[in-house]
Structure 1
Amino acid sequence: MKILLSLEEMLKRRVPDIDAVERINSALINKVPFSFIRMNDGEAAILGVGHEHDHDQAEFFYHHWWGDTNFDVNYTKWLQSELVKSAESSDILGFFDMCDKKPLKFKRTGGMLRKGADLSKVDLFVTPEAHLNWHSDALFKHIFDGLDQVTLISCYDISKAIKRAFSFKDVTHIRIPGHAKYSNRSKMMASHPHDRFPAIMRRLNAEAQGRVYLIGAGVLGKLYANTIKEAGGVALDIGSVFDSWVGNKSRGSVRKYRIGF
């Protein structure tokens, strides 16, 4: 039976973003199965279909993310289920809730998660901006302290730069298409959900055990994180920090924070 948390119960486990740093560093060093994920307005648009709004809100984000609206209600129901599973199995989960001073489109995420997902086993809750706050405060050097190997799931191949910045010995890159809204769609190498997603999921199931992954892959990144944890790996959903590292200021959320490593 699912245990649904009230706002008050969730807040008992919500910590300032900086307080989650030690928990993440411990997971990275010990390489215990672990996932940190974030959910925001895009995930809320998917979770709310059939409950709070029509399918057109999901279609808006499909076009925004992937330049494609050819996804029916059955796909959205599948994605809803996978997002709920990813949230339920995460160790640290970031989202805004009704207590936050944010526009409704952002803070409704928490209510949707708490109504539909059993979050009773999540260790800590933070904001979905935790990753950017860690970056802005230069905390990734501490988070990655003692870590030798990472695999990047991102549209950016920054293997050499991140290796230098954090003194990693081994960096692997799994490439995905860029965010459609900010990309030249005629040059996008493939469809993320149709082409890359199935292949990446097979690869993660086969090789994630004992490995650490930094993920910047949008809504599908939450599913990658869950698969990595289930396969015995460590997953950090750090999203737009990749944009900050490469100096891409096209996203408003990035412009508010420090640019570069």
Structure 2
Amino acid sequence: MNEILQGMIAAGHLIVTFDSDLIEISLRSLRVTLSAVALASLIGIPLGAWLAVKRFRHRRAAIALLNALMGLPPVAVGLIVYLLLSRAGPFGVLGLLFTPTAMIIAQVIIVTPLIASIAHQAMRELWAEYHDLLISLNATRWQRIGAIVRDGRRTLLTAALAGFGRGIGEVGAIMIVGGNIDHATRVLTTAIALETGKGDFALALGLGFVLIGLAIAVNWLIHSLSRTEAGSQW
């Protein structure tokens, strides 16, 4: 209990004093995760909608594979990305290893199946509802996808939030491909792991409270925007 109290005091002190390291680490965490979620949404949402609309031979197998990929072990993803970006790997010449870009790539791989799966479930229900209407209007496949995506945008926002929640708390893959380099690739989760290893539990708890606060703040902001959008439709 004493350590938790010390962690809360440490978190309050870091926030009130606008600690430069904390601000830097927090902004980097948000930049990496929001960039990854944006890219994952650009990939996952159209993919989920396409699977809901398109009928092909191995569609069930593709959906099953997509659902299975939601359980990808982050450490395994980090290892694969590390091997691809290392000097001996096919993309080593780009020099991306131990950079925020490598961290974003790892998070995109982890988050995309989750967003795509949630998007597919939402779009499948909308497609069942609008199927006859869109077919009667002779809409093209991409017009159908666009229509159901626009109508289901609030559910898709929830999918993006789920992706953000998984991304902001990721540590295994980020540690492997980012290296936890101070003032370069250190984010909140890797900083917490570092301070815990050093035995500084008060600071680790403080950083943890800040991480939770950031996750809640971003979710609250997006939820408020979605409610505002919903209210403006009436």
TM-score, L = length of structure 2: 0.26
Q: Which has the higher contact order (CA 8 A, sep 6+)?
A: 2
Larger strand percent: 1
Larger helix percent: 2
TM-score, L = length of structure 1: 0.24
